[in-house]
Amino acid sequence: MERKSFQDMSCPVALALERVGEWWSILILRDASHGITRFDGFQKSLGISPNSLTRRLGALVEAGLLERRRYSERPPRDEYVLTEAGHAFQPVLTTLYAFGTKHFPPNEPNVRLVDKESGNDVDPLLIDRTTGHPIDEEHTTFMPGPSADDRLRAVLEWRNRQTS
């Protein structure tokens, strides 16, 4: 089955998924945020085939989320480090972590998100930088943007009537 491309859509979610929508890509970015940079490290952590890993690393480099850097000339070897955009993906990983921890908790957690100073577990919360309000259904909603088509406008307007 051929994968559908979202590159011509105007939705920010679709455009982000075009770059990181495959689960392997998200797990590679997770591992990169944990400090794994080398091909064999990703392969060992994920158990992914070399061909699949090569394709996904290349796609993440092309998308600007990872940068390929040569660390050995003989034999030629590269490492993959997060770019600014790759580091900006961290809140998405944190949100997925919080969602998974709450709704699909493993029997025994293999990783914890903790405050660096206190060492206490963190319960992530998205907030609006300007108001300080939580990003939740009580405080926020989606509204049509300038390029919204009639279908999207109708859906969002209906949704907002239902929740007000």
Whole-number pLDDT of residue 42: 97
State the average pLDDT over residues 25-45. 96
Element (H, E) at 61: helix 50-62
Residue 83, token pair as written in the block: 């770019």
Contacts of residue 131, Cβ cutoff 8 Å, sequence gap at least 6? 139
End-to-end CA distance of the chain: 41
Residue 130, token pair as written in the block: 């300007």
Whole-number pLDDT of residue 3: 63
Q: Given pLDDT bands bounded at 50, 70 and 90, which one contains residue 2?
A: low
Burial class of 113 by CB neighbour count within 10 A (0 to 12, 13 to 18, 19+) = middle
For residue 27, pLDDT over 60 is answered with yes
Average of per-residue pLDDT values in the chain: 90
Rounded to whole angstroms, the Cα distance separating 103 from 106 reads 10
For residue 146, pLDDT over 80 is answered with yes
